[in-house]
Amino acid sequence: MPEWEVIIPIVGYALVNVSGADEKEAFGNALDVVSVNDIELWEGVEHIVQGNVFYGEVNNIEATRIDDEEES
């Protein structure tokens, strides 16, 4: 039986907690520290986008403030 090397597109997201003065700084800090160990969810798919359909969980970077401070 022949062997095959198969590249599988994966979709999902990683989750990291970082500090930052605002979302933009948090995004940069998160991209600096993210690793394979931070993967929260992933799955293999045949394609990520087909026509105008995106088959992923998350398609944009986003941040949610997790402390109790009020923004000034």
Residue 3: domain span: 1-66
In a domain, 3, yes or no: yes
With a cut of 70, say whether residue 71 has pLDDT above it.
Answer: no
Compute the mean pLDDT over every residue in the chain, rounded to the nearest whole number.
89
In a domain, 28, yes or no: yes
Assess if residue 25 is contained within a domain: yes
Two tokens, residue 20: 């930052």
Number of domains in the chain: 1
10-41: pLDDT as tens digits: 888 999 999 999 999 999 999 999 999 999 99
Give CA–CA dist 18/32, Å, rounded: 10
Amino acid type, 13? Y
**Which pTM was predicted?**
0.69
Question: Predicted confidence band at 69 (pLDDT cuts at 50, 70, 90)?
Answer: low
Q: Does residue 12 lie within any of the structural domains? A: yes
Distance, in Å, from the CA atom of 15 to the CA atom of 34, rounded to the nearest integer, reads 8
Residue 44 within any structural domain of the chain: yes
Residue 72 lies in a domain: no
Q: How large is the average pLDDT for residues 35-51?
A: 92
